[in-house]
Structures are given as structure tokens and as C-alpha cells.
Structure 1
Amino acid sequence: MLALSIAWRQCRSLWASGEIRVLLFALILAVTATTSVSFFTDRIQSSMQTQGNVLLGADLVVNADHALPAAYLAEANSRQYQTSQALEFTSMVVNADSSALAEIKAVAAGFPLRGHLTISKQSLTTAKGEPETAGIPARGTVWLEPRLAQTLGLKIGDVVGVGESQFSVAAFLLQEPSRGGDMFSIAPRLMMNSADVAATGLIQFGSRVKYQLLVAANPDSTIRNPSMEDFAKWLTPQLARGERVDDIRSARPEMRNALNKAQQFLGIASMVGVILAMVAMLLASIPYVQKSLDAYALMRCFGATQQLITQILLYQTLLLAAVGSVVGCVLGFVAQFGLAILAGRLFLETLPAPGWMPVVLGLITGFATLFTIVWPQLMRLRAVPALRILRQDLEGNVRSNGLMFLPALLVLAGLVYWHAGEIKLAAIVLAALSGLVLVSGFLAYAGMRIVRSFGRLNTNMQQFGVIKLGLMGLRRRPLLTITQVVGLSMGLMAILLLAFVRNDLLQHWQSALPADAPNRFMINIQADQIAGIHDLLSRHGIAHADIFPMVRARLISVNGHAIQAEDYKDDRAKRLAEREFNLSWAAQMQADNALVAGQWWQAADAGKPLLSLEQGLAETLHLKLGDRLSYDVAGTPLELTITSLRKVEWNSMHVNFFAVTPPNVLDHYAANYITSFHLPQGKDDVLNALIKQFPNVTIINVAAVMTQIQSLISKMSYAIEFVFGFSLLAGLAVLYAALMATREERMRESTLMRVLGAAKKQVVLAMLVEFLCVGVVASLVANVFTNVAAYYLATLVLDIEYQFNGWFTLQAVLVTIALVPFAAWLVARHQFNQPPRVLLQSI
């Protein structure tokens, strides 16, 4: 109890004198930065996942070409999930003498489980101006997409025939969230109540129907739902032929990529908080230990043993860790709560409630950081000799062994991995940090050696003397100088890495899915119709891509061995082995394709049986360069040799193919053509003109899904901007606290300089020169390693193109060089306005 009592009284005394405030302030800021970013990113991740699930209408969808077993629904209900069911099939719908093909969706109560159906009960001319959300169509009524209503000349209240039944048109369907699970829409939608399906007589033996079971976690927080991943794992071994489980990541590759990249960025943002926390604590602990030397030397004079001093230090560290961690967690929660409210008003729907994991992470960060970084520093105090009371130059064996900081490095690595969520991301960041520490430490040491040589020069120039005085300040504190350079380099790298990755990610999204990306596909085009389609689209001002040929073929063997679905374990591989492929030909590789293996053909290769495959398809079917693939093209064999593998940017929404040959290879086979184009809103008359002039052409509408994907990516972009801005402010606050830790020592030096006759201007300039040197070294090293880490993160983790931005890098260097001296001046500016007598009394 004696040790605890002394530790408590000493903490109060140190707080009253201000000697412990910087350390505690740094700890609170560190935990606040970590928890607030963790709280906010956790809620943003949950929100993005939920909004992504809107594209499916659920968290998970079970699809099948036959009625689903009742056991699936029973298991979902036993887990207290929300459930709904739906049917999808195509059929002709009739209005008097007019008829049109429609994609019919029959939905049950509760549909959709995520998002809302948007309808209008006004006329078509005002439908888009009067949207409202609704449940599902009532029995005996249907909802039509405006395009279907225009084709059949229907209005609200008219009757439309579906199979053997007649239904009243109750509303126009403006938006259906669940269409994200099926990218291509060959015909417009008609939605009806599932209870009316039997009366239509359309579902017969052999009918092509897609059965769906939609599942979502219950939003009621009082119900503890088992993990949706656990339900998917339970389902997977139960699935029969023709059944599959889709979530947003498997159903929509575009959203899978976007969500993965966004979550990886948020993980990097959380890592920034951890790194800055460790840096701030390291810098704040050094002056705190220096100030405590006299107090513990006095305790040694009064007979305190090393064991008692160790106990006092232990209790003192626990008290600081508890207070700083708890206060930091509370402030972090308050900060993210305000940010979440602001974010919800700006660009997001209601964010999910925060979980408790960020609190646990904040407490672990606070205690682990303080003990692993500050505790080794405090252990130095045990060896302070009692004679230090008489001789201030004596510190005893207070020099730290570098191995004492090994636990701090291990804790940093563990926290970085925790935030990263994957070992590759954590390894790249840690490797870059390790290299940065070594290089920045070496440069700081080498710089001080140069300064030592520079100090031997004599000069009478006043300005040069001030510079020399500032440089000598680096030499007087070698350990602190190296620590400052390393610490500032780590902090700057953390912030700059976040900025660089953010820029690359946002540019990738903007280029991958621009606002004018194709939202209509045209298939079944005949060769003699190409010129007419070009002319019609041009006359209406529609920009479109090239029209590509395609030949239907089935893969039958690889290197002479017959291919069978049973040869593959992967479900996708089995489906690919059974399906037909679209072969195409091209002289030049498309701009959204990249060669990853082999060589593209030359003009002289026209007519040669060569083949270029998409990389993912080749990996799924275990194909490689040099393999001979045999296809069956309408009963005629065709053998091709793989000479190249391509990476295809499917997110571009342009027409692309798994398999491409040189020109003239497929000339003897029947082919039709396909193209894509962007149809602006309000130009639906172009589609009517196309169908009227080319009735055999099928137009596939992907506009609804494109709108939803673009909306979600836009929201994720805002979230990333917001998290980056907050992380930047938190990082600057922590770095500012780290600079405050050196204030007392510099106050002593400036006081001595003022007493010896130095003017205030000279003192200020000397300090600015010193921190300018620190800022130059730290910024240059941080920018070099940031670019290296950003390159590997972009290419190995985020799988996006790395774009070196020289101008942005130069700006970062210049801003950093100016920011470090300015921040140091902000910390020490009040002492420059005081006379030397006041300063002497203060110390």
C-alpha cells in the first residue's frame, strides 16, 4: 500500500506541476485517435456492407432452378433471421392486341429485406417526379416498369393479361433494389404477388423459373442473430445441383472489389491511428523520464530500495494507463458519434450502432502502448544514483538497452495486423516502417556527424552564426534528435500513406465506372445491320463502342483429353465446363485488357489457330500457355492453342470476351454481333427506334444496376474522404502533442541563451533552423518510403494501378518542411515573449 500511496501522491504532484500532463495528454490523444477512427470505420464498414446488400435485396440469397427445400427456410427461421421468397421467369404479357416479353417477378411478404421498392401511381409523364416507397403488389394487381407500360400503352387502372389471368395495373415500378443480383435485364419488369402465380398457369413442368430464398439479419438489437457466414457455411454442403448461395461479394464482382478495397483502406486508416499513438507515446516518454530523475534520486537518498521504486513505477504506470485509456475511449466515442451524425446528414443513410470492439481495442492500445514504450523508459529510473542530487550530470546506468523496446515493436506489429485484417497488408506497412526507422535513424546520425565537423568552422557572419547555433542544438541532444527524426518520419509516413492510397483508390473508382459508362447492351446484331445501327445511334447523338463479333462454341477437350464437369471441384469451374462460350476475334487488344502472359499476335498471324484467354478463366479451368483447346462450333470441330493470357477490367462495363482469336480464324462460322452504349436519361425514344428498325435485335438494360453501383461507390468515396480527413486531423493532433513533449528542455536552453545576451529573434531563428533540419530529413525519408509502400499496396493488396504523382509528392515535402518548424513555434511561442528573469524563475 505504501507504493500505491506514493504513486498516487506523486501523480497528483506531477499533474499539478505540469510535468505529467504532456504524457497523459499524448496517451489520451492516442487512444482517442485510435478508438474514434475504429468506431467510425467499423460503422462505415457495416453501413457499406448493408448498402451493398441492397443490390441483392437481402444479406444472402439462395437461388435455384427448382423449388427450394423447406429445410433451408426452417433453418433460417430457427436462427431468427428475416426471410422472404420470390420467383422469376419470363413470359409474354398482353394488352388487347399488343403483347411484349416481360421478366416477371413474383414476390412474397417482406420483400425486399434490404432497401425499398419505389413506385409511382401517377401518369407516366409525372411518374419519375412522384416516387413513393411501398411493400409488395396486392393480390390481383401488378406493377410495371415504365418501358413495359409504354410498349403496351398501359396506364394506371388498365388491365393486362398474364397467362390465364387478368391483373389491374396498380403502379409503375421505378426502382427495384434486388436487381443487383442479376446484371442483365433482357426484358422490362412486371412485379406481382406470389399468391397469384398459380392462377396464371405459367409454372408448368419444364418451365424455366428461378426460385429465390432471401435471408437477412434481424435489425432488432434485442435479438442476437448467429453470423450470416455461419448460415452460409451450413448451407454450402446441403446444396444440390442447380442451387447456389449468393451474397453481395459473390453475386456482384464489381461490388465485391469495391467493398474489399474500401475495407482495406479503412483498415489502413485504423493503422494510422495505431502508428501515431506509438510515436506520440515514445516522444512524450523521453522528457518525462528526464524530469523524474531528481525525484527518484531523492527517494534513493531517503533509503528507497529498487524494489519499492519498481512498485511505485508499476502503480504509477497503471494509473496513467487507466485514466488515459478510459478518457480516450470516452472522447473517441463522442467524436465518432458527432462525426456519424454529420456523415449521415451529408451522404449516408442511418449508420449501424457502434459495437464494443473499438473500446476493447482502445483499452488494449492504451495499456499496451504505455507499458511497452514508457515502462522501459521508467525502468531506467531504478538505477539513478543518490549522488545525482549533488551532481546533475550523473544519471547512473540509465542508458536503455535497445532490446527493451522489442516488446513495443511486437505490440505495434500485433495492432497493425489487427487493424489490417490480412497479413499481406500488415507486412507491407511494417516492412516500410522498419526500413524507414533504419534509414531515418542513420541519416540523423550522419547529419550530426556532419554538424560536428561544421561546428569547427569559425565565422563572424551573424546570420550564419544563428544557423550554426541551431545546428549545434541537434548535436547537443543526439538521442532526442534521432528519436524525433524517426518519430516524425513514422508519423508523416502514416499520414502520407493514407493520402497516397486514397488518391489511387478514388482515381481507380472514377476511371473504372465513370458516369457515362455503358448501360445498354445490344445482342443478336446481324452483319448487314451494323452500318444501320451505327447511323441510327450517331443521328441521335449516342456515343457507342465498337460492334464485336461472337461465335457460340462449347469446349470439349484440353490437350486431347475430354473435359467433364466432374473433373473439377470448384462450382464455378463445373459451370464453365458445361456452358457454351462466346468466341470473338480482334486484331488489337482492347484498352481495358492487359497482357499478363504470352504475346499478342501480329498482323501476319491472321488466320492462325491462336487463342487469348482471360486470366481468371484460365486459372479456374487450370489452363496454361501452350494448351490446345478443342471446341465444338455448331457440330464442327475447332482446335486453338493458347498463346496469351489477359487481365480484363470487367468493371468498365464494355463488351469483353473470355476467348479471342486473330482475325480470319472464325470466318467460316455463323456469327452475330454485340455492342454496348450509354443511353442518357430521357432518350428512351432511341430504344423504340432501334426495336422498330431492327426487330431481331435484343437490348439488355443494365441501367438500374449501374445506377445503384455508382450510387454506392459514390457513398464509399465520400466515406473514404471523410475518414481520411478525420484521420489527418487526429494525426496532426497527436504529432502536435509529441512536439509539446520537448517544450521544457527547449525552454531551459532558450533561457540560457537569453541570459547570455541572445536576442529573441536569434533564439527563434535557432530553434526554427533546428526543426527545419529535422523536418527536411523526416519529410524526404517519409515520402520515399511512402511511395514504396503505396506502390506495393496498390499492386499486391488493392490490385489497382499505382500512379506516381510527382507534384503531390513535392507538395507533401514542402508542406511538411514548413509544418514541422511552424508546429514547434506554436508550442514554444509564449516563452519567447517573456523576459529572461521570468524564465529563470520558472525553471
Structure 2
Amino acid sequence: MNSSTAPALSSQPLLASHQPPQVWLLAWRQLWRDWRAGELRLLMLAVCLAVAALCAVSFLSDRLEQGLRRDAAQLIGGDAVLLADQPIPGALQDLARTQGLTSTLSSNFPSMARASEAQGGRSRLVAVKSVGTAYPLRGSLLLADGRRVGAPAAGTVWVDAAVIDALQIRVGDSLLLGESALTVAGVIATEPDRGAGFMNFAPRLMLAEADLAATALVQPASRVTYRLAVAAPDASGQAAVAGDAVKQFVTRAQALIERSGWRGVRLDSLESGRPEMRQTLDRASKFLKLVAMLSALLAAVAVALAARDFAARHLDDCAVLRVLGQAQKRIAWAYSIEFGLAGLTASLLGILLGWGLHFAFVSLLAGLLNVSLPAPSLWPALLGLGLGLSLLLGFGLPPVLQLAAVPALRVIRRDLGGLKAGSSLVLVAGVLGFAGILMVLAGELTLGLIAALGFALALALFAAMAWLAVWLLKRWVPLGASAAQGDGTGTGPTLPRWLVLATRQVAARPGFAVVQVSSLAVGLLALALLVLLRTDLIDSWLKSTPANAPDRFVINLQTDQVPAFRTQIEAAGVRSYDLFPMIRGRLLAINGQPVRQQQYSDDRAQRLVEREFNLSHSAQLLQHNTVVQGQWVEDEADGLSVEQGLAETLGLKLGDRLRFDVAGVPVEGRISSLRKVDWSSMRVNFFVLFPREHMPDLPSTWVSAFHAPTGGGLDRALSSAMPNLTVVDVSAQLTQVQTVLNQVIQAVQLLFGFTLATGLVVLLASVGSTREARTREFALMRALGASSRLLAQVQRAELLGVGALAGFLAGAVAVLLGALLARFAFGFAWNLNLWVPLFSLVAGALLAQLAGWWSLRGVLRRPVMQTLREADTQ
């Protein structure tokens, strides 16, 4: 018997007592011995990596969610907030007063702030916010000089430091906003209701509500967000839980909005207050959760393989223990306690590693988060501990429990007491617990089901395909092939001897082949899937900021200013630009039926029907749009062209009639075409287009996008010539977006590396699980005269073949599973890559060969006598 696998339970203590304390002591001795012998290291490493990946993601999401809950009232600006794209109706303000609530009005929109010509004439895009005298209702506005203030006084503004830096002015200087000159009275350090604590692309400029009209920036077609914040009287000034008055206000306000038919008025929430980069965070969060789930799935495969190999190594040990009088129950308890201690140790190490890793995520996402996050709760640690123990319980313990049933007669007859199917009760309990943890981690049913069920079905498919491959291999290489070559007759298949032996090795152990191909394919599937999703996910982010994208957007351009605008930008060297009329319209009816928010269950559809759309008209189809259904007909009097995604969300189809309200003017048309819009082009795009050159009866402004020449002089010239214009310089924002995306990508790649490591553990466990069987077989072959060179060729051919088959299967399934995840979980376009199965075939063969070289090193270098003795004693 091999000394490394000799039983740790000596006969004297085993026969002397059956007391539980001795069982715990003996389990600890077994754990220490098996760890030193290296038999538990692979298993514990897989558990540790899976728990670390899960805990890192869970700690991060837990802190973010706690921060959002903690700052909820400040983030939305009150105990309740009403949001509208038209001025808030006075009846809602009266309702707040009758409920005894404090209220304040504010409005938000982007515009350009400028320094005077004497101060350099520089300009900067700002997020303008006009506030009432009661602002802020919750939290406090902190200035850089330490003052806690409210709304700015008439004629003054509070600004972010970025405005000071961009315009190169100081506190006390004047800046130009529209047609007004306002004095900078302070620099904002903390704004309580900035919005979820995430980065805003434009710095804040806050002015008094009384000064807004004088700027002349708000025009009939301007896009302005109006807010009415209300709060219950609270001496502490904090937003704990809204009182009964606030709850009554919310109920009555909702009823009043529905009864009065006010469109676009809704209650604000954290979700509706998210800025644009939240989509990037959502996708990154989903990907991180998917990576953690795949790490757990891979760990389950690795644990199952390592535990079965562990049990196979200890069959003879347990047979000797049975001879020495040990009871089955005692052996079962000893190994159960040993595996429990191993799982607990690996889980605790994984929790500590995940705790440290989540700080790296927080650091990498620092550009998106400018709030202090609270300490995480204990829940992520308990979730990680549950994952680790369920991995050991569901996938590691079943084969080990069979050791207790090994008959004592096995010491004489080695064909007795082999491993069979595991304990069904323990397996079902562990798998159910494992599945529950995965669903909690996923956070949503779609992502969890696609990942978990997809991998379960893939595993069954891999096993079936592996069995079919072995069956075909038996028929392709007959058993007499080697004899035909060895007898010198020259008959039979002309195959190399090493290839014949390799195929017979695989065909002789169909069970080993199926397990090995299936486990390798699962590991390679996870790696291929992550590589594909990571690549397409990152590409979809990076395409949002193409190198030649327009970096200037101009809004609020009036119709009579269009000729002068064209002349000015063309004289400055701009040759390619977008210039379209922009009409603000609200969807009233579809096919004559009034549109109501309640008729849609989808959140996006509900938001769309409650907001005003940006409409436009053009006789020519926009260059970056493609007609996917119907036909674009120039100057079609009754035609409409609708963006494909909008049509899918609202259930629209060709031939439907839509009626819009444009500043009180009804406009109706029939959907004659559906367009695919490239929203990542940074060009001017619209949900709905009228295919007409002129629509003079509708109030409109114009919008333009172009890439500005270097120097920045054009911005100042446009703002000086037409003060009502909002010239949005997004060049800095594009660079900022790219920086943020790079930070998110780094966070994704950090956890991606953990899953790669777990996948390699699966490969090592899969190949290493056949080590003992190969040792015995090679011992017999060498005794019969096979050379080490021939056996090395046989082993290499077998590993390359198994790896190639597993890689091809993994690549084919990865394409299908990746398409489902991209479409239903991440919401981005999926590019079908037919080269993936071929590439994964080559990668699988090479990885299997490398894993085999590492796991099976030394097997072929053992002396013949040593291998024969070991084979005889095992």
C-alpha cells in the first residue's frame, strides 16, 4: 500500500472507543495527512476561488445597495418628488400645501456658460439647475469654503469647481448664461440631490428660480425637466421615513394625475433618476455576476472530479479499516467531518480573498462613485460560506460517503467495492442549495436560468456526444488493427501503432472518456463564453465613443437663425454636419385608441408613453439609419418612420396610425417604415421621422452635431452671435466616458482572471482523475515491452484527441449560449462567429495537453519495478 494513502486510523484507538471526540480528532488527523499528501489541494483551491469570486461581487453590490437606501431621500431631493417635462400643474402644488408639506420647485437642463470677452470668452457645458427659496428640502448644500447654504440669492450662482477651471474665472466674477450676466458667489462641494452619487458629465450651475426667465434659455421646444419636491416637517432636517401626510400626498397626487389626464407627470424614484452611465454599470454588474456564477459552476465540476478521485484513492484504505473492525458509521462520520473542515477552511479563505478583491473593484470604479459607501453587511460572507459548504455537500461528499460501504473482502479481491452512483439524498440536497445560491447571486430570473439551465443541458449534451464519439471510435478502429500491424502480414488498417493504442485506450474506458470529455468541455465552455461575452461587451461599450464622432451638439437653434448658422460653421471649416428640425411631441393615440401607461407592463414602455418624443422631418433618409421594414417614400403626406426598438417596445407595426400632440397641435400619420438606428454613432437620431421636407405649421427648434475644428474659437463665436444657442462641447465628456469604460473593463477583467484560474483547476482535475488508472496501465505496458517513447506518444494522442473533441463541443455551445445571454440578459447585438468552434478545438487540445503534462508528469518516468509493485498493491 502506498505510504501517502496509508490509513491514519490506527487499530488500537479505533478498537478502543467509538466516542464522538475521537472521531473529530481522527477526522482532523486525516485532513492534515491528506492535505500534506496533496490530495485535497485541488478541491480546496476550486472552492476557495469560487467563494472569492462570489463574495467579491456580493460585497460590492451590497455596499452599493446600502448606500442607495441610506441616501434615498437626498438622492431624489425630498420625501416624494414629482417629475414632469412641462411646468408642474398648480393643483399639485396646492395639494402639497393642504397636506401641510413643505415644497420647492426646480428645473434642470443643459446649457453653455461663458466668460466675458474681457475674461477670455471661454465656454463650458453646464447642467443648469434653477431652485426655489426652500431648496434643499433634504440634506444640505455644502460650499468649498465650508458654508452650508440654500438657494443662491437673486443675480448669483453656485457652480462646480470645473466651471471655475474651464472659464478661468474666480469667485466674485461674472459669467454669462443665455442673455443674463450672473455673479459666481460660491463653489459647490456637495449637492444633496445630485442623483445617486454617480458621475455627472456636465458640472453644475445653480441659480435662483427668479433669474431663470431673464436668461431666455427656456423656449417652447426646449427639453427641460421640472421637479416638485415635498417633505414632511422634520426638525432634524433628515429624511427618515415619510409620515402619513407624505403617504396621503402620494396617493392623492397619483389619483389627481390620472383623473386630470396630465401626461408626462410622474413620481420620481431612484431608478428614474439614473444617469446614462447607469446602463454601463448595470451591464458590468450583470457580467460580474455571470462570471461569479460560472466560477461556482466550474468549481462544482472540479470538486466532483477531485472528490471522486479522492474516494478512488482511499478505497483500499477503508477496506483495511473494515478488516481492523471499524464500523461503517464511524468511517462515514470521519470522512464527513474531514470534508466539512476542508470546505469550511476553503470557504473562509475565499471570503477573506473576496473581501480584499472587492476593495480593488471599489478602487477601479472610483470614477463612477463619488460617495462614501457604508460597510458591507454579513450577508455576502454567509452567502459565500453557504456556497462553499454546498459545493462540498452536493458534489464532493457523495462519492466519499461510499468509502464507508467498502467491503473488507476488497483487501483480497480488488474488483469489489468500486465507486457507484453517489448518495441521492445528499446529492439532491447539495444541488438544490447550490442552485438557490446561484439564483440569489444572479439577482434576476433570466440571467440565473440561462446560466444554470444552459450549463446543465450543455453537460448532458457533452456526455451524450462523448459517448457517441467513443462508440464511433470503436467502429472506426477495430480491435484487430494493432494485431494486423504486429503480425507482419501487412493486412488491416495502416495506422500508426501509437494512434491505435491511444484509440483503444479511450475505447477501453468509455466511462472515463465520457467524464473527461464532459468535464473538459464544461470548463472550456465557461472560458469560451466569457471570452466571447467579454469581447462583445467591451466592443459595445467602446463603439459608443467612435474616434470620428461629433464632439459638438447645438440645440435651441431657431428657424430664422439656420442660414447664419450654416454660414458660420462652414466658414470655420466644418464640412460634415447634421442639421435637423426637432419637434417635441407626445404620443396620444394608436389606431384611434388613447394611450395610457397602465396598458403596458414593460417599464420602458410605460416611461416612453409618459414622456415627450423628439420628432423630426426630412425628405431624405438619414445616412446612419437603415429601413428594415416597409419603404421610405419622399414627401409622403401621411407617412411616418418609426425606430425599430421603439416599435418593438410599444407593440407597433406597419400600417398603425399614430397621433401626436405638438404644443397643442394634433399631428397624425401612418407607419410606412421601420428604421434601425445606430445609437452609438453619436449622430443626431430620432424615434419618429416624418418623410417630408417642410412642416411649417409645427413649432420646432433645430439641432446640429458636428466635429469642431481645433482651437475652440467656433464655440465662442457661435455663443456670441446667437446667445440663445446651447453649444454642447462633449469632447471632454467623450474622453471621460472612455476613462470610465476603461475602469469598468479593468474591473471585469480582474474577476475574469479568477474564472480563468477556476477553469484551469477543472482541466487539471479532469486529467488528474485518471492518474491512478494510467499508472497501472502503463506499468503493464512497460512490463510487456512498450517503450517510454511509445507510451508518451499514446498519452499525447489521447489527451489531444479528448481535448479537441471537448473544445469543439464547447465552442459550438458557447456560440448558442452567448447569443441567448447577449439578447436576453445584456441587451446588446450578438455577432455570430463561426470560427469559435474551430478555435476552441485547437485551444482545447493544447490546454488538455498542458494540463496532462502537469497532472501526469512523472508517471512515465517511474521505474518499471516500482510501477508494478504499486499496481500490485492497489
TM-score clears 0.5: yes
Pair 368,151 (structure 1): closer, same or farther in 2 beyond 3 Å? closer
Q: Distance in 1 between matches of 2:268 and 2:569?
A: 37
Aligned residue for 2:9? none
- Please report how far the alpha carbon of residue 814 of structure 1 lies from its aligned counterpart in structure 2 after TM superposition: 1.9
- The answer as to 2:481 corresponding to 1:465 is no
Pair 571,608 (structure 1): closer, same or farther in 2 beyond 3 Å? same
Per-residue Cα deviation, 1:114-133 (whole angstroms, up to 9, x for no partner): 999998xxxxxxxxxxxx99
- The answer as to 2:691 corresponding to 1:662 is yes
Q: Distance in 1 between matches of 2:437 and 2:202?
A: 51
Q: Distance in 2 between matches of 1:232 and 1:647?
A: 44
Q: Is the 8 A contact 1:613 1:658 kept in 2?
A: yes
When structure 1 is superposed on structure 2, of 749-758 and 138-147 the one drifting more is: 138-147
Unpaired segments ≥5 residues, structure 2: 1-16, 83-87, 232-238, 258-263, 489-493
What secondary structure is seen at the aligned counterpart in 2 of 1:676?
A: strand
- The answer as to 2:465 corresponding to 1:443 is yes
Aligned residue for 1:123? none
Pair 299,232 (structure 1): closer, same or farther in 2 beyond 3 Å? farther
What secondary structure is seen at the aligned counterpart in 2 of 1:254?
A: coil
Per-residue Cα deviation, 1:640-664 (whole angstroms, up to 9, x for no partner): 1234455656565432223212235
Q: Is the 8 A contact 1:249 1:255 kept in 2?
A: no
2:499 partner letter: I
Aligned residue for 2:474? 452
Pair 369,143 (structure 1): closer, same or farther in 2 beyond 3 Å? closer
Pair 569,668 (structure 1): closer, same or farther in 2 beyond 3 Å? same
Pair 571,407 (structure 1): closer, same or farther in 2 beyond 3 Å? closer
- Please report how far the alpha carbon of residue 508 of structure 1 lies from its aligned counterpart in structure 2 after TM superposition: 0.7
Q: Is the 8 A contact 1:29 1:734 kept in 2?
A: no
Q: Is the 8 A contact 1:372 1:407 kept in 2?
A: yes
What secondary structure is seen at the aligned counterpart in 1 of 2:555?
A: strand
Q: Is the 8 A contact 1:35 1:359 kept in 2?
A: no
Aligned residue for 1:481? 513
Aligned residue for 1:430? 452
Q: Is the 8 A contact 1:548 1:584 kept in 2?
A: yes
- Please report how far the alpha carbon of residue 258 of structure 1 lies from its aligned counterpart in structure 2 after TM superposition: 1.8
2:480 partner letter: R
- The answer as to 2:860 corresponding to 1:832 is yes
Aligned partner of 2:773 among 719, 737, 745: 745
Cα RMSD for the two superposed structures = 5.6
Aligned partner of 1:329 among 347, 350, 370: 347
Per-residue Cα deviation, 1:622-676 (whole angstroms, up to 9, x for no partner): 7654333344667765431234455656565432223212235736656543222
When structure 1 is superposed on structure 2, of 54-63 and 489-498 the one drifting more is: 54-63
- Please report how far the alpha carbon of residue 519 of structure 1 lies from its aligned counterpart in structure 2 after TM superposition: 5.0
Aligned residue for 2:335? 316
When structure 1 is superposed on structure 2, of 255-264 and 738-747 the one drifting more is: 738-747
Q: Is the 8 A contact 2:618 2:689 kept in 1?
A: yes
Pair 50,527 (structure 1): closer, same or farther in 2 beyond 3 Å? farther
**How many residues are aligned here?**
798
Q: Distance in 1 between matches of 2:817 and 2:509?
A: 31
Aligned residue for 1:511? 543
When structure 1 is superposed on structure 2, of 234-243 and 684-693 the one drifting more is: 234-243
Aligned partner of 1:280 among 284, 302, 312: 302
Q: Distance in 1 between matches of 2:812 and 2:240?
A: 46
Aligned residue for 1:677? 706
Q: Distance in 2 between matches of 1:620 and 1:662?
A: 22
2:457 partner letter: G
Q: Is the 8 A contact 1:102 1:190 kept in 2?
A: yes
What secondary structure is seen at the aligned counterpart in 2 of 1:607?
A: coil
Q: Distance in 1 between matches of 2:737 and 2:650?
A: 29
Q: Distance in 1 between matches of 2:167 and 2:516?
A: 75
- Please report how far the alpha carbon of residue 610 of structure 1 lies from its aligned counterpart in structure 2 after TM superposition: 1.6
Q: Percent identical across equivalent pairs?
A: 30
TM-score in terms of structure 1 length: 0.77
Aligned residue for 1:34? 50
Aligned partner of 2:529 among 497, 511, 514: 497
Per-residue Cα deviation, 1:4-37 (whole angstroms, up to 9, x for no partner): 4675566466557649965532332222112211
- Please report how far the alpha carbon of residue 818 of structure 1 lies from its aligned counterpart in structure 2 after TM superposition: 0.6
Aligned residue for 2:639? 610
Aligned partner of 1:601 among 617, 631, 634: 631
When structure 1 is superposed on structure 2, of 6-15 and 718-727 the one drifting more is: 6-15
What secondary structure is seen at the aligned counterpart in 2 of 1:512?
A: coil
- Please report how far the alpha carbon of residue 767 of structure 1 lies from its aligned counterpart in structure 2 after TM superposition: 1.8
Pair 685,47 (structure 1): closer, same or farther in 2 beyond 3 Å? farther
TM-score in terms of structure 2 length: 0.74
2:347 partner letter: C
Aligned partner of 1:523 among 522, 541, 555: 555
Q: Distance in 2 between matches of 1:513 and 1:72?
A: 48
- The answer as to 2:569 corresponding to 1:537 is yes
Q: Is the 8 A contact 1:448 1:475 kept in 2?
A: yes
- Please report how far the alpha carbon of residue 271 of structure 1 lies from its aligned counterpart in structure 2 after TM superposition: 0.9
Q: Distance in 2 between matches of 1:756 and 1:826?
A: 26
Q: Is the 8 A contact 2:51 2:351 kept in 1?
A: yes
When structure 1 is superposed on structure 2, of 249-258 and 537-546 the one drifting more is: 537-546
Per-residue Cα deviation, 1:115-159 (whole angstroms, up to 9, x for no partner): 99998xxxxxxxxxxxx9998799877545799889999655446
2:513 partner letter: T
Unpaired segments ≥5 residues, structure 1: 76-83, 120-131, 216-224
Per-residue Cα deviation, 1:444-499 (whole angstroms, up to 9, x for no partner): 22333344342321324999222222333323432222111111111211222122
1:294 partner letter: D
Q: Is the 8 A contact 1:283 1:741 kept in 2?
A: yes
Aligned residue for 2:394? 372
Aligned partner of 1:716 among 744, 753, 767: 744
- Please report how far the alpha carbon of residue 252 of structure 1 lies from its aligned counterpart in structure 2 after TM superposition: 3.9
Aligned residue for 1:220? none
Q: Distance in 1 between matches of 2:404 and 2:514?
A: 24
Pair 8,43 (structure 1): closer, same or farther in 2 beyond 3 Å? closer
Pair 327,517 (structure 1): closer, same or farther in 2 beyond 3 Å? farther
Aligned partner of 1:547 among 566, 579, 585: 579
Q: Distance in 2 between matches of 1:724 and 1:115?
A: 41
What secondary structure is seen at the aligned counterpart in 2 of 1:395?
A: coil
When structure 1 is superposed on structure 2, of 7-16 and 261-270 the one drifting more is: 7-16
- The answer as to 2:771 corresponding to 1:771 is no
Q: Is the 8 A contact 2:141 2:192 kept in 1?
A: yes
1:506 partner letter: I
Q: Is the 8 A contact 2:152 2:206 kept in 1?
A: no
Alignment of 1:625-664 (within 5 A): 625-631=654-660, 638-646=667-675, 653-664=682-693
- Please report how far the alpha carbon of residue 402 of structure 1 lies from its aligned counterpart in structure 2 after TM superposition: 8.6
Q: Is the 8 A contact 1:614 1:648 kept in 2?
A: yes
